[in-house]
Amino acid sequence: MALTATIFKAELQIANMDRGYYADHALTLARHPSETDERMMVRLLAFALHASETLAFTKGLCADDEPDLWEKSLTGEIERWIDVGLPDERRMRRACGRAGRVYVYAYGGNQARLWWERTARDVARLDNLQVLNLPVGATGALPTLVDRTMRLQCTVQEEQIWFGNGEATVLVEPEPLFTGEKMA
């Protein structure tokens, strides 16, 4: 018998002072059976950083040709493609060809560093790609915020992210690994 996704509900309050974006979002997250709480929370963090009315979670791990999140225009064009984890160079190149902007949130400590050392030269010409490394201490602490029904707050100021649930707060300070020249 196939395992099914576990459903989580999140009420997310976002105060992103860097972008001037302030909103509340009621979200439903499906955690794939092979997905960890850490990865699910990194997806939620990526949502908070790029939040808009049109940003949406996709099938994610269930679909090879979709990112974890995307934002599409009214005509169906992919404006933002957001992946979490350590995608291979071909996936990033294909994403950059399909979307206006591509964001990758890498995590995993030394594994992420080794991945970037192997990948950096291959993606150096992708001018619509941005790669950020999330510190292992922060992503490792994000699962402490997980509950089937979550009330979370995310505050972003001067590229520091505070992610919390009223009882605990996790500070995340992404390290930029790559920013294409044409990124805005």
Over the stretch 116-130, which tens digit does the pLDDT of each residue have?
A: 999 999 999 999 999
**Quick check: is 23 in a domain?**
yes
Whether residue 145 lies inside any domain: the answer is yes
Q: How confident is the model at residue 183 (pLDDT cuts 50, 70, 90)?
A: very low
Instruction: Give the per-residue pLDDT at 59.
Output: 76
Residue 118 belongs to what domain range? Answer: 6-179
Report the chain's mean pLDDT, rounded to a whole number.
93
Rg of the chain in Å (alpha carbons): 16
Q: Is residue 182 very low, low, confident or very high in pLDDT (cuts 50, 70, 90)?
A: very low
Tell me the residue type at 169: T
Q: Return all residues near 91 (Cβ < 8 A) that are at least 6 apart.
A: 83
Residue 158 has pLDDT above 90, yes or no: yes
Residue 65 has a pLDDT of 77
Distance (Å, whole) CA 102 – CA 90: 13
CA 86 to mean position of chain CA atoms = 12
In the chain, the amino acid numbered 60 is G
pLDDT digits (tens, 9 = 90+) for 16-54: 999 999 999 999 999 988 899 999 999 999 999 999 999
Instruction: For residue 86, tell me if it sits in a domain.
Output: yes
CATH of the domain at 10: 3.10.640.10
- Tell me, yes or no, whether 169 lies in a domain: yes
Q: Residue 21 falls within a domain, yes or no? A: yes
| Cβ atoms within 10 Å of 104's Cβ, excluding its own | 27
1 within some domain: no
Q: Determine the Cα angle at 46 with ends 65 and 28, to 5°.
A: 80
| Total number of domains constituting the chain | 1
Within-domain flag for 16: yes
- Using alpha carbons, select from 47, 87, 38, 42 the residue that is nearest to residue 66: 87
Q: Is residue 18 assigned to a domain?
A: yes
Span 93-114, average pLDDT: 96
Residue type, 63: A
CB 156 within 8 A of CB 19: yes
pLDDT bracket for residue 62 (50, 70, 90) = low
Helix (H, G, I), strand (E, B) or coil at 92: helix
